[in-house]
């Protein structure tokens, strides 16, 4: 029996919860080090600041997806990321999904909107990375 596909509303609410976790990670892992560095009059270029954010969040998401397939909000909402075949993600899949999610979300949510027309109701970044979100219950 195939794993059930969660509804779009449930995945969007999970994304809202995820935004709170991401905010906390950025507060501790980005803002705090920047405040400390500025106390020593050490400033990074805007490009380096963005790189810091991208790498910090890549580490968070890739680690969670590769170690259980779930972030904390995904555990709460009983969602899991698996490969299109239902297996655990490979490291390059996790990185590709993360990188594809940025434009998918930032370009007016086109990758989220994509799920309304996708035959399996998956987000565009999941299609690109060969992954899918499934229910764990």
List C-alpha distances in Å: 137 to 1, 6, 77, 82.
13, 10, 10, 15
* pLDDT exceeds cutoff 70 at 2: no
- Residue 43 pLDDT: 83
* Residue ranges of domains in the chain: 8-135
pLDDT digits (tens, 9 = 90+) for 22-71: 999 999 999 888 888 888 888 888 899 999 999 999 999 999 999 999 99
The pLDDT of residue 100 is above 80: yes
Tell me what pLDDT residue 1 has: 47
Output the CA angle 136-100-13, nearest 5 degrees: 40
The mean pLDDT value for 89-114 works out to 96
Q: What is the DSSP letter of 114?
A: G
Tell me how crowded residue 81 is: count the other CB atoms within 10 A of its CB: 24
Tell which residue, 135, 129, 118, 93, has the closest CA to residue 1: 135
What letter would DSSP give residue 58?
H
More confident residue, 44 or 123: 123
What burial letters (b/e) apply to 41-52, b meaning 16+ CB within 10 Å?
Answer: eeeeeeeeeeeb
pLDDT one-digit tens code per residue, 63-90: 999 999 999 999 999 999 999 999 999 9
């Amino acid at each position: 029996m195939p794993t059930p596909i969660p509804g779009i509303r449930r995945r969007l609410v999970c994304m809202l919860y995820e935004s709170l976790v991401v905010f906390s990670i950025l507060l501790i892992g980005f803002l705090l080090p920047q405040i400390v560095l500025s106390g020593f009059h050490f400033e990074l270029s805007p490009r380096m600041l963005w790189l810091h954010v991208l790498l910090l969040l890549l580490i968070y998401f890739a680690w969670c997806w590769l170690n259980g397939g779930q972030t904390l909000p995904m555990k709460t909402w009983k969602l899991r990321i698996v490969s299109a075949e239902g297996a655990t993600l490979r490291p390059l899949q996790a990185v590709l999904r993360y990188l594809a999610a940025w434009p998918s979300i930032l370009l007016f949510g086109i990758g989220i909107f994509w799920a309304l027309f996708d035959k399996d109701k998956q987000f565009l970044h999941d299609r690109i990375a060969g992954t899918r979100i499934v229910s764990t219950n």
